[in-house]
Structures are given as C-alpha cells and as structure tokens.
C-alpha cells in the first residue's frame, strides 16, 4: 500500500541495509510500505508501519518504528531508551544465555530444553539507532505476527493462562539480568545507570499535581462511606505521593536484588503464540520505560494493573510462586546452584511490599485511562493487533461502572494484602 507520507532518507538507508542482511539483492527487490498500522496506532511515543521486501520468489516483512515528527525531548529520550534496549541490552542477555548454556555441565539435549535455556524476550531486532540531537531514530523489528503471535484483547484483564505465562517469562528475564550482574559485572555496569526516563519530568509537568489530587479524590469516592480508616490511609498517601514515587526509585532499598526492569510490564505490551488454544510463548513489546530497579516493580505492575480483583483473590499467591519458581529455575539453568538460599520467597515478598504503593499510584491514572481507551475503541472501532504503545486519551468518567469496579478492587486488594 503506497502512501504520501514522507519516509526520511535515513529510514530508507536503514531498510536497505536490513534487506541486504535478509538476503535480498540490492536494486533488485521492491520495498512496499503499509501505513495502515500507523492509522490504527494510538501511540504518542512512536510511529509504526509495516515494510515488505519482495524479490521473486520470496518476500519478508518487518515493522519499522520511528519517533513522531514533532517529538520533544521527553519523547526522544523514551525512544532512545528503547533503542538502547534493542541494540545493547537484549543482545547481551541472549549472548550471555548462550554462553552460560555452553559452559554448564548440564547442557540441554533436546530442542525444548535449549529453548528454555536461551529465552528470547522480544521480537528480533534488525536495526536500532537514535540521534536525539538530529531528532532521528529508527527500530526495525521482526514482524512476529508472521510466526503466529498476536495480542490478547488489550482492554480485558488478563486470565490465568496468559498471566501465568507472563510471570514465567518475567521470572526468566529477571533471572538472566541477575545472572549477568553476578557473572559479568563489568559488562552489566552500564545497565546500572538506566534510570527512570520520565520520573522527574512527570513530577515537574504543569498540572500533574492537580491531576493526581483529582485522581486520589476519585479513588477515595469508591471506598464505602463509613470506611474512615482506609480513607485516612489513602489521604496520607495523597499528601506524600511524590516522595513515595521518588523513594520507590531508590535502588539502594532493593539491592542486591535489583535487575533491569521492563518498566511497563502490562498485558497490552505482550504478544502471545498459542498451542492447542493455550498461550505457549510470549514476547515483550515497548521497552521505552526500561530501567534498573527492583524486580518487584514489574511484578506489581502486571498483577495489580493487568488483572482484576477476582483474579487476585483466587490467584495472587499462585502468581507469586510461579514468578519466583521461574526465576530460581532459570538462575539454576544459568549456573547458579545457590539461588534458593540468597533469593528466597521471603525476600521477594519484602521487595513487593516496598514497591506495591507504586502500583496504587499508577493505578489511579492507569485505570481511568484504560476505561477511556476502551470506550473510545468501542466508538471508533477496535484498534488493530499491530498497536504496540498505549496512547494519550481523555480520562474516563469516574462514575463509570467499570472504573468504579476496577478502582474499588485495586484499593481493596492493596489494603487486604497490607500494602497500605
């Protein structure tokens, strides 16, 4: 599908290099741009479109991400972080897994064992580059839809099977980070400086404090009228939420267990492939918020923001155990026989208690945004599966029944589990 959208020369050059890498002959293949992905993409962080290389008798499709034309310094910083992840971090983690697999005595013998030992955490990246000063950036990715991956319904809370696989993949990802940190500290050192890209910028945004004040007020309105004790606890958090967010970013509180976190480990940033109708593989998308921090950050983000009260009531302990078992098992595959001793379940529970308030503060904004996005999708038509990033939309009406149910459920669980 042709389009009048201008494709910058640096993008065309990068695509030419990828085509050659994929075995297409220079000047003998066609390049077709499909911007329908762009039309359905609600992202404010990147522009996404599909590119197909054709040279008889074969073709190959990739996804191309670039910053929006009017990207400001914050958006470019976010894009630059994702370029760093795809260009540096993920290749290092994959290489480390292969090296450890080859060096351990218990080398996997079956294809299934090899896949478990060397886990791909994201779509393959063919090219990643960013020059923030020029306002240029590009990430060229494998189109995993061609391998049968798809998005689950992005607005629905995760069910057990999807959430369980998400916890297994998260445990493996964090385990690889911890093992690299332990066995190759010099290489890992650069990842310790992956700070929060947006934290200070968001707190300094004009109107953010007023937005949070309103969000706390709306959340408090979902509590029973006579529940003075919980209203008081929420009011105390309301008075110091900025300090809480800054304290949560203090990695010293969670060492020596800090890892590289995904930073936005939500259901709509995952794609799944299926076997017999059940999710069997998963890749993570949208790494703009990746940072060095407590492993509990990703756990609480998923469990509290991508599931509902009913799920947490029935499966919270199971998710905790699933994540922890996956982390320990993968650490052992990577050659650490003492992981059970230095990272017991009690340590994980302590880390979660330190970080759980972040899930609540994020939920105050995340839930109304999610409800509003769902309402907009119903009006405009469901976005395509290619949507990677969550966009900027209006806040939903907080009298909406879905908002009331989800927010009340989040508060109930935060209090029930003793996090506030």
pLDDT tens-place string over residues 283-312: 999 999 999 999 999 999 999 999 999 999
319 Cβ partners below 8 Å, 6+ apart? 163, 164, 167, 299, 303
Residue ranges of domains in the chain: 13-142, 149-376+395-417
At 111, the pLDDT band (50, 70, 90 cuts) reads very low
pLDDT of res. 387: 44
pLDDT above 80: residue 5: no
C-alpha span between 21 and 16 (Å, rounded): 9
Query: How distant, in Å, are the alpha carbons of 6, 250, 355 from that of 293?
Result: 39, 8, 10
132 against 37, higher pLDDT: 132
pLDDT of 393 higher than 50? no
- Cβ distance 152 to 253 under 8 Å? no
Query: Residue 116: is its pLDDT beyond 70?
Result: no
Q: Provide Rg for the chain, Cα atoms.
A: 22
- Across the range 71-77, mean pLDDT stands at 90
Tell me the pLDDT tens digit for each residue of 161-208: 999 999 999 999 999 999 999 999 999 999 999 998 887 777 777 888
Superfamily the domain 13-142 falls into: Phosphorylase Kinase; domain 1 (3.30.200.20)
Question: Residue 359's pLDDT band (boundaries 50, 70, 90)?
Answer: confident
Q: Are the CB atoms for 171 and 325 separated by under 8 Å?
A: yes
Contact 130, 65 (CB under 8 A): no
Full-model pTM: 0.90
Q: Which fold would CATH assign to domain 149-376+395-417? A: Aminoglycoside 3'-phosphotransferase; Chain: A, domain 2 (3.90.1200)
pLDDT score at 23:
95
Closest CA to 44 of 6, 87, 12, 76: 76
């Amino acid at each position: 599908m042709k389009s009048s959208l201008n494709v910058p020369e640096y993008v065309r050059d990068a695509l030419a290099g990828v085509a050659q890498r994929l075995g297409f002959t220079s000047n003998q293949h066609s390049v077709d741009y499909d911007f329908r992905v762009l039309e359905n993409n609600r992202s404010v962080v990147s522009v996404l479109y599909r590119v197909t290389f054709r040279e008889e008798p074969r073709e190959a499709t990739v996804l191309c991400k670039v910053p929006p034309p009017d990207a400001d310094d914050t958006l470019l910083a976010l894009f630059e972080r994702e370029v760093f992840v795809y260009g540096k971090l993920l290749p290092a983690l994959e290489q480390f897994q292969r090296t450890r697999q080859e060096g351990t005595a218990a080398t996997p013998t079956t294809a299934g064992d090899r896949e478990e030992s060397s886990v791909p955490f994201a779509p393959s990246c063919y090219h990643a580059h960013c020059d923030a000063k020029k306002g240029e950036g590009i990430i060229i990715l494998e189109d995993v839809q061609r391998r049968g991956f798809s998005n689950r319904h992005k607005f629905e809370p995760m069910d057990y099977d999807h959430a369980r696989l998400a916890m297994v993949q998260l445990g493996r990802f964090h385990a690889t980070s911890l093992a690299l940190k332990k066995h190759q500290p010099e290489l890992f050192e650069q990842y310790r400086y992956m700070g929060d890209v947006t934290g200070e910028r968001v707190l300094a945004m004009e109107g953010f404090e007023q937005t949070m004040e309103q969000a706390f007020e709306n959340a408090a309105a979902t509590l029973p009228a006579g529940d003075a004790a919980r209203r008081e606890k929420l009011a105390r958090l309301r008075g110091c939420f900025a300090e809480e967010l800054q304290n949560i970013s203090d990695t010293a509180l969670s060492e020596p267990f800090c890892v590289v976190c995904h930073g936005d480990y939500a259901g709509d940033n995952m794609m799944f492939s299926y076997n017999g109708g059940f999710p069997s593989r998963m890749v993570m998308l949208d790494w703009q918020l990746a940072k060095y921090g407590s492993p509990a950050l990703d756990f609480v983000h998923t469990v509290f923001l991508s599931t509902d009260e009913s799920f947490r009531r029935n499966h919270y302990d199971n998710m905790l155990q699933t994540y922890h078992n996956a982390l320990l098992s993968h650490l052992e595959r990577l050659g650490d026989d003492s992981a059970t001793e230095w990272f017991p379940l009690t340590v994980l529970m302590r880390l979660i208690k330190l970080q759980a308030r972040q899930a609540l503060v994020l939920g105050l904004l995340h839930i109304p945004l999610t409800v509003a996005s769902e309402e907009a999708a119903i009006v405009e038509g469901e976005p395509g599966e290619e949507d990677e990033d969550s966009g900027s939309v209006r806040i939903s009406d907080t009298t909406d029944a879905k908002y009331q149910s989800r927010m009340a459920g989040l508060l109930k669980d935060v209090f029930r589990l003793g996090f506030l």
